Structure formats: C-alpha cells, structure tokens
Chains A and B, each alone.
Chain A
Amino acid sequence: MSVPFSTQLVNVLAALLLLIAFALLSQRRVLTLIRLFALQGAVLTASTVVVAWSTGYSDLYVSAGITLVLKVILIPWILHRLIDRLFIRWDVETLINIPTTMLVGIGLVIFSFALATPISQMASTLTRSTLGIALATVLLSFLMMIVRRKAVPQVIGFLAMENGLLFAATTATFGMPLVWELGVALDVLVATLIFGIFFFHIREQFDSLDIRHMEKLRQD
C-alpha cells in the first residue's frame, strides 16, 4: 500500500465526519443533535492531532486543544443548559421527509466531490483527498440550516458548518494562522452565547422556537 498510515487515518476520520454530518441531517431529537455535534468536534480534534503529528506543525496542537475545549465540552454544555432552561429537552422536530433530504444530501456530496477532484489532483499534500469531504460537510450543514424549522437545530447546523470549514483548513493547508484561529474560535463562542439570548427573546415573543412565526409581520 503506497498511502502512508496517517493519511489513511485522516481519511477514515474524514469519512466519519461526513457520516456525522448526515446523522445531524436526519436526527429528530434535539438532545441527540447536541451529542452528535460534540462527537463531530471530537472527530475533528482527533484528525487535527493526526495531521499535527504527521506534519510536525506544532500550531495545530493548539488548534486541536481549542477545538476540544470549545466544541466538545463548552458549547455542548452551553446548549445543554439552554435547552434545559427552555424546557425543550424532549422536543421532537418534524422535518420535511427525511429520505428526500438524504437524497438531496447525496446530490450535494456528489457535487462537492466532483468540484474537489480536480483541485486535489493538483495538490500534493498528504491529506489532499479530504477536501471534497470537508466541502461536503459544509454544504450538508447549510442544507441542515435550510430544512430545519426550529432555532436550536439551526444553530447546531451553523456550528457544524464551522467544523467543516476548520476541517478543510487543517487538512488542505495545515491550519490557518493561530491568531485567526483564536479569533474564529472566540467568534463562535460569542455567537453561541448571543444565540442563547436570542432563543429566550424568540421564546418570549412567540411562545415557541419555531422560526416560521418570525416571518409574519406585525399588523399595527
């Protein structure tokens, strides 16, 4: 086998990331969504560590640490507290027909793979083949934000998209400059906090977290 073992490992983790993106897309329960999101963060951490270990870029260890603290522990914990306070723990969301969404998802995967193939053929980094998967993860998270009706799953979709972007950055270019990464991480954290405050306001205004209510204009 000509492919080195670390590349194989990154490929497997990338496939896992894609699988979790699909699981997020099809999951109805909010609590499971948060667990899946934490799992996605853990996979991302593992892949970042593998890339850091095989290339020797020590900055990536810091990036992996940030991912671990923020995306596996802190943000899921904040979301947990939020849904506890909002009493939506057992919320089951009705989606538009899951098999259809999945088929659209497959279409997106094919699209992003086709898009990434010429790029990865020109690249020579050891993780070039994962670019397509990272792109697919981003697009699937977009799709999740589009098809969801409730606010919390939309936020999880947003955060999952950030995971996909970070994965693309670590595997394609071995990470962004550390300052940027710190900034992005802080942004995501602040965004989560602000979303939390929004949840309460939406809830107060409409008695529900269903964002369809926000489309109605007030009639004075």
Chain B
Amino acid sequence: MNAWTAAGFQILQSVFVVLAAPLLMGWVNQCRAWLQNRSAPSILLPYFTLAKLFHKDAVVARNASPLFRATPYVLFGCMWLAAGIVPVLATGLPFAPAADIIALVGVFALARVFSALAAMDTGTSFGGLGARREMLIGFLAEPAMLMTLFTAAFISGSTQLTTIVDTLAHRDFALYPSLAFAAVAFLMVLLAENARIPIDNPATHLELTMIHEAMILEYSARHLALIEWAAAIKLFAYMTIGIALFVPWGIASAGDWHALPSAVGALVAKLALAGAGLALIETLLAKLRLLLAPEFLSSAFLLGVLGMLTHFLVQG
C-alpha cells in the first residue's frame, strides 16, 4: 500500500462522513416520526435545511466577540477531525496515528468548551444556562466514555482506535462480558453527549428543559448551519465509534479497494439499524429531569468501571 492510496482512502472517508451525516440525522427523524404515528418528513430534509440556512444573511449580536463568530468553524473542524480519526470505512488510515482514543475524547471536549464559551459570550440568560447544563453533562459523561474506551483498549492492548478495531474485527468468536458492560455504558454516553432524549430533547425549544438548543439560540444562517452540521457529524462519529468497538465486522483496511463496496454496504446496514434503534429508544423513554442526569451518567460510569474490572477478573 503506498501513501497515495492511503491518502485517497482518508479523503474519501472524510468526504463520505461529512456528506452522509445529515442523511443519518434525517433517517433518525424519519424513524421517530413513524414510531410516533406522524407522517414522516423527507429523509433529505436536513440537507434542505442546511441549504436554506446557508442562503440566509447571518445576524450577529452587536456585543459578540470574535470568539462567537469563530466557534461554528471550530466546532465543524473538531467534528470533521474526529470523523477522520475514527475508522469508519477502513482501518490503518494515515490520520489514525494523529490521535488515540484519549485525544479523541479531548477533541470532543475542545468542541464542548468552545460551544459553552460562545453561548456565554453574548450574555443572554439562556446561553449561560445552556452552557452550564452542557458542562454538567459533559464532565460526567467524559469519564464514563473514557472507561468504556479503556475496556476495549485493555482487550486489544492499545489505545489506538484503529489497532483496537483491527484486533476486535479479526479475532475468533468469543464472548466478552466486559465488552457487554462497556456497550451499555457507551450507549448511555452516546445519548447524553448527543443531546438525545433521556437527557435532552433535540426537538424542543422549551426553556426549562433544553440544553444544547439553549446554547445555540443566538446563532443564525451559515453559523447555525455549521453547528447543526457539526452536531450531525458528531452523532455519526459516535455511532461509528460504537460500531467500530462493538460490531466491527466487515470493515476494510486502507488501500484495499476491493473490500470497499462491502465495507460501505455493511456500514450503511449497521447505521440504518443503529438509527432505527436510537429512534426507538427516544420513543420509549421519557426525558429525565435535569437533576436526575447525574444519576444516569454515574450509572454509565459505574458500568464502564464494572466492565474494566470484569475484564481483569475473567480475562475477557
């Protein structure tokens, strides 16, 4: 495999993730509408929304600092970088050594800090409220996420995501109780980090409950479009991390063009299932009160720790 093929794979994956992320969002929304007996919007609706927002004129508060303007680009950049590191279509990409799982969590944390700062920047009460809530969720979700990733890292003996996936995808069939714990913990973190239902409702603008939406209330037009797009890529990245850790079968390795169509097919099938599952979870569960969120996330942390301990005890 020469460097150019690998670079081609990297570019292909990055472009694929950015273009496919709104589609996943549309699919989740569509499934949710079906499950709630509503007539579903088009699966392409997120693209139309993005196009509409990009054509509008941006309005920025008079007292907003440059940080406020820069944040959408930082968010988008962070998420795109994360999507380049995660082995979505292939392992062994040239970007992969740039960051291991700890740095990956750091990239997500960077995005979170910037969005919280930007939310407080304009000095509105909603922004500050949303930022505080986001940091509350974030500081509890992060250790749980790390514990989950550590469990997988212990099994494969590396913190490089691509090595983990290589090890897990090409092993003999074995039941790992520790990975089962980690999978449940990861699911809980995914729900919390992506502002999905037990923690936050992505479809509400009710001031008592919103977290993510409260932070981006001041944004409009292209800034809002970038933030929405970044949120879609974040959901995509989290889902692909989950797929990479817990159901990694069918992934190609970089430079192997023949395995690519089947890798894309497997990924689309897994993502369709994961999106439908997410919609099902969101339909079945009710939103938790904000004060119960720490309990939810500490359970996730507990499951992550239990997974790690179980790994040491039963070696698997």
Contact = CB atoms under 8 A, between A and B. Distances in A.
A116 B174 CA distance: 24
A109 B177 CA distance: 15
Contacts of B256: none
A26 interface: yes
A15 B180 contact: yes
A8 B295 CA distance: 31
A99 B295 contact: yes
A19 B310 CA distance: 11
Interface stretch (A35-43, A85-93, A128-136, A186-194): A128-136
Of the listed residues A12, A15, A116, the one surrounded by the most CB atoms of chain B closer than 10 A to its CB is A15
A9 interface: yes
Given A19-B181, A109-B306, A9 B313 contact: no
Contacts of A167: none
- Chain A interface category by residue count: 20 to 34
B299 A15 contact: no
B309 interface: yes
A106 B305 contact: yes
Given A9-B175, A15-B181, A22-B306, A132 B316 contact: no
Nearest to B307: A15
Contacts of B309: 106, 109-110, 113
Given A11-B177, A102-B298, A102-B299, A18 B315 contact: no
Contacts of A26: 299
B314 interface: yes
Contact of A113 (B174, B175, B299, B313): B313
Interface string B68-92: 0000000000000000000000000
A22 B172 CA distance: 31
A12 B306 contact: no
Contacts of A133: 310, 313
Given A3-B174, A11-B175, A117-B313, A98 B306 contact: no
B312 interface: yes
B143 interface: no
B180 A12 contact: yes
Contacts of A19: 181, 303, 306
Interface string A110-139: 100100110000000000011011000000
Nearest to B315: A129
Interface string B276-312: 0000000000000000001100110011011001101
Contacts, number: 65
B171 interface: yes
B55 to A, nearest CB: 48
Contacts of B316: 3, 8, 11
Contact of A18 (B171, B299, B306): B306
A146 interface: no
B296 to A, nearest CB: 10
A117 B295 CA distance: 31
A116 B312 CA distance: 12
A143 interface: no
Contacts of B313: 113, 116-117, 129, 132-133
Nearest to B302: A102
B306 A106 contact: yes
Interface in B184-232: none
A14 interface: yes
Contacts of B303: 19
Nearest to A128: B314
Contacts of B305: 106
A179 interface: no
A105 B172 CA distance: 34
A15 B314 CA distance: 10
Contact of B312 (A14, A98, A113): A113
Interface of A: 1, 3, 5, 8-9, 11-12, 14-16, 18-19, 22, 26, 98-99, 102, 105-106, 109-110, 113, 116-117, 129-130, 132-133
13 contacts: A3-B316, A12-B177, A15-B181, A15-B306, A16-B177, A18-B310, A22-B302, A26-B299, A102-B299, A102-B302, A113-B312, A129-B313, A133-B313
Which 4 residue pairs across A and B have the least CB separation, nearest first?
Answer: A15-B177, A8-B175, A129-B314, A99-B298
Given A1-B172, A3-B174, A12-B175, 5 more contacts: A14-B177, A19-B181, A98-B298, A102-B299, A106-B306
